[in-house]
């Protein structure tokens, strides 16, 4: 942890002082994005120190040939990789012929970064003294427009402080970039053309294999003391690079400013022959508007997001900064406009994990997007999986399943599996459960049933078929068992009868059958279409039901708890608190076999099941299971603390809930896992939001009603959040004494507060 | 299977007719070796068709940087690879300027290969018509000397049949070779110097990282119609290549013969500055002797081996050829002269599996070497592990074990683990058991106890410490359990309480304690030395004993069988005979998860335990377990059929035993697994020997006595084998009616035949 590295602030992430050791971490933390693209906070000017260059375009990936030590049948041929895209932010700066490079300066003073989350921009200021003794003040501000989401803008201002100097700006585009993560050092990009036209430049390049065509573009404008300069430039054009070179004599104290617009247009969204034209039109529009106006629109757009999604916390700046950091990055990553996109675990902040979509989306992210955005956004996330149903059926077929059984991939870009560890790829099959659960969850929250007859039921049928085939009958147990799986707790591999997996399997089948019946009765033409397409028969449904009705669950009579898997109680049950500190994190200190035979849990497993299906468990049962499993949980997954925070809050253990909350909300800001330089943990950020809304706020949906049981940590004076519920917005304020509700909408809303029915009229403050 | 490809013959492996599709398979099958080096049966002349070039030097390897998809803590950094060594056999041949290349000839007639196993040479004859219409007869004979084991010789004779021709011979050395198996395309060899001197040439090269220095050398001599020619040659010298070029006009019907001596001297055996000199001396010695004399000595040396190791089978040529093929290759691979060497699973016939030493050595190979060679050979194999004890302790330490616990590597060259699949590397820990068992087995067979106080006990202590620490106490079972292992059946991973593993763990501890006590009483100074070195205390031994005495074994009361692991009976118990043929081999047809949750067994597991410790199980128990497990066994390991053959014979199921025997003995000749092109299955060849001696012959050692219960398959008229037992040789002949014993030695020998005591006097035929 590096608690003191980021300054506490309600609305901004702030770093003060230049430390080369922190550059890669800051590049992650200060990342910016607009849902369509994003970039690490790399410097515009040259930097010869350790840096991790990254600029990413949503949906643009490369299928990198799988690399494993020992091939197993069924491994996918490719791993879809997030690609570092051509660089459009670069600006070479020479001062009397010496390059500005913060790694080589004589001294650097007043270095400061600010990521203004309220307004959606990133600023860097510093004073650098070069080896030639010229001291410059530099101020650079950058943002990726939410309005014109293919464009970003930079204003880069340089003021020589102690002498006049010749200052040369060299803004450039560079498509000769590489990935840090590559299996075989393949070439990922091929440049097609490098063009320029007046103050604009364009590089067309395409990804290898996937053939995404991308136009990377820029426009530049120079001003002295705010007055636009028109001057000649030199142009350096190479096979995958173009630079405009401006030479200026700048007097001491004068400020030379380069405004640079840049970004990408992509063949995903445009005719590939039109990319340069589209880019040119975009630059026309943006430069016409000017930097200030575009920034003004940026502030308005972020205001609109915050108006709906903000959570306030009073009396605890670190907690406030943490939750806003999470909400901000979720919105930078995914805005829900495009059903082809999804939420990558690292968003646009790093390459790690490749692929874009994990079960994180369904298990952790959907509730956030449902409650803070128009419900179409969550529906888009569901449709993403519907679009991949055929691929999920193919994937199951490769593993020996038949008859339309669907196994959704562990990791994917386009619906094809791209992961390659047998214990995960082939065995972490519970992911199917989360995908079905998300359909249920969407309907429960939005009340919109239409998705299920239109699309969702086909997904549910494919999933039910999978579970039916995957369970086998144990003659010894006289029950159906599910052998050889990895549950949510990935610190167990190839176990039998993982409780979570068996439970979701049973639930998926029952939920599919329930919906088949409902659609048969209520959506005649959908029913006919689906039955025709899937060739589903009554006898097949009976066979599913037999499995669901006779599913085996490992249980300890003595302890009155469900067991995480068969044989769990054979382990040496030493709690985490009795584990020497120097043995942790176990995933860095222990060999894999030792982790596997230990009782230690990476993230909620049985408790995840109780979280999803809490209505089926009593509070007493929750307490028993929490008391048994949490002490063995090492929370070495970013997805672990949030569920535990919610459950601790439910059990009234507010100290523990608060502790888990801090851990989830400041995971990256405080770099708990010493890996923030690789990128941020985007999907777990949605878990942070759940910790407050579902944990402290106790929000649930029951029988088409919002329900709350508000609690507040001692450390806070008050907190508030908003819920977009069926086209009305309810704001909830909780302080140490009371809870108030305010409705922005047109119709009276019935809610439950601590199980009591409360009526909220629009624009009427109700305090309880 | 390609049953007809190799001609049946009692003493030779014969191929007739040229088929480019078979070249790589034949390169494996016709491999030659002499324990110190070996080579695939590559052609001497150019060949542009598909070929797998391989020449290997015992003990020379390269630590190739590990390549895995997903790194797990504790993985070794390197995988020791068997290295393709510089080529010394190559001879370029040009006929009127056209290269002789069997892939490009107009036609090829009378192509024949013979590997004469009786005499230890390999011959190839053919008539080739080149594109220029010259027809040549070629006869090439090659062997690697057993007497001078750093040298080999080739006699390559060419006769133009239909015209006179200019025939140019270009014998060469080439150190610019590569491996097929390489993780990162590293350069494995660096050439130091290329020299020549009269008719000799030398290339000094060294391996990267390991720095084994090797002198590859040759001497050449030309003869026309048997008359040695002295003539000028051209010399083509490059940075890692040297070729002598001889030009000759050869009249139609005349025979031009090139004799080439070549081989390697290695810094493992000589001062590295002396390699060229040593090589020169060797060439002097060999060429002085001449090709014929060296070949004569080869025949004598092989006669000596066969005199001890031969097994005869009458009335079944395929079976006879099979067993000799196995015995021949075992002797080509390892002769037991050097305790630094061991028996690689592919010997000198391919690269696959890298490393040299697996548990195969102790579990399968030692009995063969014990009974057919001087007992020093088996002792050398034991000492190999003693020499690696420190590394085994290091290996265990890396996995979190303490206090001198030793875990021998799964795969190794120098004692360090080099495998990298967590389920094998970290979990297939039963290998420790085979290493201890070999010590017991050696003592039981040879009666030589001295190894244990001198060296073996330290190994036993390290192993006992490992098992003591690796077992954990299950409060639920009130027993010690061993969680998360892979047993001999690698089609199960990360299982709990694998019966075999738990049994050997218990046995290892008990055997260690038994020997500690014996050595305490009988070998005072050894005891003091060992206790001082290992710091072993009585309380530690008590702690071991507690684990051994309270070990858990999974058992089915209903079926009265030990279970392969916890939960085995939860599987869908469909036998292999009910598995559709198109689903097999399952390791090629099924994804890994499907294999794991199936009941199918790759090789003997519970049955391997009963095989090792058969005195502890009744015949009734063997029958019950065999009847339960064999029907689920797919025998997809080359090590599987032999154990089953032995047990089937013991149960009197001779048809089944014979079927398993054929499968093990002709595994490579008939290419059951479609992979013989990659190399031969050397270690399983020892299992073939056991199938006859222990299976059909029923040989055991009981109370310092040889015991037999001879049986014979209906398909055979008779068979015989010899056993070197405590410096006397007993020959056993079994036919359909009787068994006879003949002793070559000086002292009367008491043996058991079908449990009855029989006295055998030297040189006296006893028939029963």
DSSP string covering B245-275: EEEEEE-TT--EEEEEEEEEEETTTS-GGGH
Shortest CA distance to B70 belongs to which of A677, A417, A67, A588?
A67
Closest-CA distance of chain B to residue A429, Å? 11
The answer to whether the CB atoms of A67 and B66 lie below 8 A apart is no
d(CA B442, CA B445): 5
For B:468-497, CB contacts with A below 8 A are 472-477, 481, 483-484, 493-496
Q: Measure the CA–CA gap between B710 and B712, rounded to whole angstroms.
A: 7
Across residues A147-167, what is the average pLDDT?
A: 98
Q: Do B496 and A73 touch (CB under 8 A)?
A: no
Question: Alpha-carbon distance B363 to A682, whole Å?
Answer: 51
* Residue A65 contacts B where some CB pair is shorter than 8 Å: no
Beta strands, E only, A225-368: 227-229, 234-238, 241-250, 256-266, 312-314
- State how far the Cα of A277 lies from the Cα of A195, in Å rounded to an integer: 12
Please check whether residue B366 is in contact with residue B689, taking contact to mean a CB–CB distance below 8 angstroms. Answer: no
Decide: B144 and B154 in contact? Cβ < 8 Å: no
pLDDT at A672: 84
State chain A's mean pLDDT as an integer.
Answer: 96
Minimal-distance CA residue of chain B relative to A181: B69
Task: Provide the percentage of residues in chain A whose pLDDT is more than 70.
Answer: 100
As a whole number of angstroms, the distance between CA B49 and CA B51 comes to: 6
CA distance A216 to A282: 12
Under 8 Å between Cβ of B480 and B555: no
Contact B28, B677 (CB under 8 A): yes
Mean pLDDT for the stretch of residues A76-80: 87
Query: CA nearest A172: which of A156, A185, A158, A159?
Result: A156
Query: Known catalytic residues of A?
Result: 490
B559/A contact by beta carbon, under 8 A: no
Q: Per DSSP, what are the bridge partners of residue A642?
A: none
Q: Is the ipTM of this complex over 0.90?
A: yes
Q: Give the whole-angstrom CA distance, residue B54 versus residue B36.
A: 15
Instruction: Determine, for residues A476 and B73 on separate chains, whether the beta-carbon distance falls below 8 Å.
Output: no
Query: CA dist A546 to A402, A553, B61, Å?
Result: 18, 15, 57
Q: What confidence score (pLDDT) does residue A265 get?
A: 98
Tell me whether A585 touches chain B (CB under 8 Å): no
Q: How far is CA A683 from CA A61, A303, A324, A636, B299, in A?
A: 19, 23, 15, 15, 73
Picking from A185, A192, A171, the residue whose alpha carbon sits closest to that of residue A242 is A171
Which residues in chain B have their CB less than 8 angstroms from residue A484's CB?
A: 593, 596-597
Establish if B580 touches chain A: CB-CB under 8 angstroms: no
Q: How far is A281 from chain B (nearest CA, A)?
A: 44
Res A1: pLDDT: 46
Report the gap between the CA of A40 and the closest CA in chain B (Å).
25
Asked if B70's CB is within 8 angstroms of A590's CB, the reply is no
Q: Closest partner residue to B593 among A472, A484, A593, by Cβ?
A: A484
Q: Is any Cβ of chain B less than 8 angstroms from the Cβ of A573?
A: yes
Question: Which residues have a Cβ under 8 Å from the Cβ of A549 and sit 6 or more positions away?
Answer: none
d(CA B684, CA B603): 12
Task: Give the pairing type, strands B749-753 and B766-767.
Answer: unpaired
Under an 8 A CB cutoff, do B476 and A570 touch?
yes
Helix, strand, coil share (%) of chain A residues, nearest 5: 35, 25, 40
Residue B677 DSSP label:
G
Tell me if A331 sits within 8 A of A337, measured CB to CB. Answer: no
Residue B340 exposure: Cα atoms within 13 Å on the Cβ side: 9
For residue B459, the distance in angstroms to the closest alpha carbon of chain A comes to: 23
Residues of B in contact with A66 (CB under 8 A): 69
Tokens of B594: 């499907």
User: How far apart are the C-alpha atoms of B613 and B441, rounded to whole Å?
Assistant: 11
| Nearest in space to A207 (alpha carbons), one of A238, A232, A180, A179 | A179
Whether A400 sits inside 8 A of B590 (CB atoms) is yes
Residue B712 backbone dihedrals phi, psi, to 5 degrees: -145, 135
**If we measure between CA atoms, which residue out of A390, A415, A413, A393 comes closest to residue A404?**
A393
Q: What is the DSSP string of A334-391?
A: --S--TT----TTTTS--TT-SSB-THIIIIIHHHHHHHS-HHHHHHHHHHHHHTHHH
Interface touch B427/A573, C-beta < 8 Å: no
A737: left (phi over 0), alpha (psi -120 to 50) or beta: alpha
Alpha carbon distance A46, A644 (integer Å): 44
Give pLDDT, residue B1: 46
With CB atoms and an 8 Å threshold, state whether A496 touches B567.
yes
What are the chain B neighbours of A593 within 8 Å (beta carbons)?
Answer: 74, 399, 422, 426-427, 484, 494
pLDDT in tens, A668-710: 999 988 889 999 999 999 999 999 999 999 999 999 999 999 9
**What are the per-10-residue average pLDDT scores of chain B (768 residues)?**
78 97 97 97 98 96 87 87 95 98 97 98 98 98 98 98 97 95 90 96 96 98 95 94 97 98 98 97 97 98 97 96 97 93 94 86 96 95 97 97 98 92 96 98 98 98 98 98 98 98 98 98 98 98 98 98 98 97 94 97 98 98 98 95 97 97 92 90 95 98 97 97 96 97 95 97 93
Q: Which residue of A has its CA nearest to B586?
A: A73
Structure tokens, B364: 């399968």
Q: How far apart are CA B120 and CA B329, in angstroms?
A: 10
What's the pTM? 0.94
> Looking at B362, B490, B492, B694, which residue is catalytic?
B490
Tell me if the bond preceding A585 is cis, omega within 30° of 0. Answer: yes
**Do B421 and A474 make contact, defined as CB atoms within 8 angstroms?**
no
Biggest CA pair distance of chain B: 89
Residues 6+ apart with CB under 8 A from B707: B698, B699, B700, B701, B751, B752, B753, B755
Instruction: Give the Cα-Cα-Cα angle A144, A149, A150 (nearest 5 degrees).
Output: 90
Among residues 724-763 of chain A, which lie with CB inside 8 Å of chain B? Answer: none
CA distance B499 to A459: 42
Residue of A nearest to B73 (CA): A591
Question: Which residue among B74, B476, B477 places its CB closest to the CB of A591?
Answer: B74
State yes or no: is B490 an active-site residue: yes
**C-alpha to C-alpha distance for B428 and B326, rounded to whole angstroms:** 27
Contacts of B532 (CB under 8 A, 6+ apart): none
B597/A399 Cβ within 8 A: no
* Interatomic CA distance for residues A113 and A123, integer angstroms: 6
Strands (E), A635-704: 700-702
Q: List all residues 6 or more positions away from A340 whose beta carbon is below 8 Å from its beta carbon.
A: A59, A268, A384, A387
Whether residues B592 and A426 touch (CB distance < 8 A) is answered with yes
Q: How far is A529 from chain B (nearest CA, A)?
A: 33
HSE of A251, CA atoms in CB hemisphere, 13 A: 3
- Cis peptide upstream of residue A64 (ω within 30 degrees of 0): no
Query: Across the interface, do A474 and B597 touch by the CB < 8 Å criterion?
Result: no
Confidence of residue A73 (pLDDT cuts 50, 70, 90): confident
CB-based contacts of A60: which residues, under 8 Å, 6+ apart?
A: A83, A85, A207, A210, A212, A214, A266, A268
> Contacts of residue A427 in chain B, CB cutoff 8 Å?
593
Alpha helices in B404-498 (DSSP H): 422-425, 431-446, 451, 457-470
**Sign of dihedral through CA atoms B372, B375, B377, B381?**
positive
Question: How far is B184 from B699, CA to CA, in rounded Å?
Answer: 48
Residue with the two structure tokens 């971490």: A25
State the Cα–Cα distance between residues B688 and B364, nearest whole angstrom: 9
Q: Residue A220 is encoded by which pair of tokens? A: 């530049």
Q: Enumerate residues 397 to 416 of chain B having a beta carbon within 8 A of any beta carbon in chain A.
A: 398-400
| Average pLDDT for A426-437 | 98
Query: Could you tell me the maximum CA-CA distance found in chain A, to the nearest angstrom?
Result: 89
């Amino acid at each position: 942890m590096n608690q003191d590295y980021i300054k506490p602030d309600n609305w901004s992430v702030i770093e003060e002082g230049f430390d080369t050791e922190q550059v890669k971490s800051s590049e992650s933390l200060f990342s910016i994005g607009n849902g369509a693209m994003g970039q690490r906070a790399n410097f515009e000017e040259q930097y010869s120190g350790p840096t991790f260059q990254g600029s990413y375009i949503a949906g643009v990936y490369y299928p990198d040939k799988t690399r494993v030590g020992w091939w197993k049948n069924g491994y996918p041929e490719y791993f879809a990789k997030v690609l570092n895209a051509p660089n459009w932010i670069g600006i070479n700066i020479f001062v009397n012929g010496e390059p500005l490079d913060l790694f080589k300066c004589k001294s650097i003073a007043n270095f400061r970064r600010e990521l203004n989350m309220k307004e959606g921009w990133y600023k860097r200021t510093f004073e650098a003294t070069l080896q030639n003794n010229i001291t410059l003040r530099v101020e650079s501000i950058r943002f990726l427009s939410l309005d014109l989401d293919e464009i970003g803008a930079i204003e880069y201002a340089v003021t020589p402080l102690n002498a006049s100097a010749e200052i040369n700006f060299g803004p450039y585009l560079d498509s000769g970039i590489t990935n840090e993560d590559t299996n075989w050092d393949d070439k990922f990009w091929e440049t097609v053309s490098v063009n320029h036209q007046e103050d604009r430049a364009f590089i067309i390049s395409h990804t290898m294999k996937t053939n995404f065509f991308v136009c990377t573009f820029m426009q530049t404008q120079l001003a002295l003391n705010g007055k636009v300069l028109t001057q000649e430039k030199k142009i350096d054009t190479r096979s995958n690079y173009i630079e405009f070179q401006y030479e200026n004599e700048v007097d001491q104290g004068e400020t030379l400013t380069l405004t640079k617009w840049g970004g990408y247009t992509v063949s995903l969204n445009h005719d590939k022959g039109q990319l340069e034209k589209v880019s040119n039109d975009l630059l026309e529009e943006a430069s016409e508007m000017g930097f200030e106006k575009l920034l003004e629109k940026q502030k308005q757009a972020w205001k609109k997001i915050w108006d709906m999604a903000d959570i306030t916390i009073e009396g605890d700046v670190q907690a406030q900064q943490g939750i806003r950091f999470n909400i901000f990055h979720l919105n930078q990553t995914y805005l829900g406009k495009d059903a082809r996109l999804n939420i990558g675990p690292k968003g646009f902040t790093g390459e790690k994990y490749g692929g874009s979509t994990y079960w994180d989306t369904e298990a952790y992210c959907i509730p956030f997007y449902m409650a803070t955005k128009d419900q179409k956004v969550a529906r888009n996330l569901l449709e993403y999986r519907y679009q991949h149903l055929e691929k999920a059926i193919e994937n199951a077929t490769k593993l020996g399943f038949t008859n339309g059984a669907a196994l959704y991939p562990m990791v994917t870009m386009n619906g094809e599996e791209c992961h390659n560890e047998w214990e995960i790829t082939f065995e972490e099959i519970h992911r199917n459960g989360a995908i079905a659960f998300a359909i249920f969850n969407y309907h429960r929250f939005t009340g919109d049933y239409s998705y299920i007859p239109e699309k969702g039921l086909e997904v549910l049928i494919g999933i039910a078929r999978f579970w039916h085939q995957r369970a086998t009958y144990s003659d010894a147990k006289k029950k159906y068992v599910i052998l050889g799986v990895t549950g949510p707790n990935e610190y167990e591999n190839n176990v039998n009868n993982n409780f979570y997996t068996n439970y979701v399997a049973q639930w998926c089948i029952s939920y599919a059958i329930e919906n088949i019946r409902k659609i048969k009765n209520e959506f005649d033409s959908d029913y006919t279409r689906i039955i025709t397409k899937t060739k589903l028969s009554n006898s097949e449904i009976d066979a599913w039901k037999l499995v669901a009705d006779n599913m085996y669950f490992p249980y300890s009579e003595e302890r009155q708890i469900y067991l995480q898997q068969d044989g769990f109680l054979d382990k040496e049950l030493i709690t985490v608190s009795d584990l020497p500190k120097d043995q942790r994190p176990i995933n860095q200190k222990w060999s894999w076999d030792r982790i596997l035979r230990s009782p230690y849990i990476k993230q909620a497993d049985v408790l995840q099941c109780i979280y999803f299906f809490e209505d089926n468990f009593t509070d007493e049962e929750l307490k028993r299971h929490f008391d048994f499993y949490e002490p063995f949980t090492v929370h070495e997954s970013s997805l672990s603390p949030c569920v535990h925070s919610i459950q601790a809050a439910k059990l009234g253990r507010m100290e523990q809930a608060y502790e888990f909350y801090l851990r989830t909300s400041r995971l990256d800001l405080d770099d708990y896992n010493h890996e923030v330089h690789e990128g941020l943990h985007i999907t777990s950020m949605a878990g942070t939001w759940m910790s407050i809304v579902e944990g402290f706020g106790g929000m649930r949906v029951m029988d088409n009603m919002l329900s709350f049981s508000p609690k507040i940590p001692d450390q806070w004076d008050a907190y508030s959040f908003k819920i977009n519920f069926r086209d009305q917005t309810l704001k909830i304020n909780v302080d140490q004494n009371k809870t108030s509700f305010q409705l922005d909408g047109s119709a009276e809303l019935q809610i439950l507060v601590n199980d009591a029915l409360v009526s909220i009229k629009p624009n009427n403050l109700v305090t309880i």
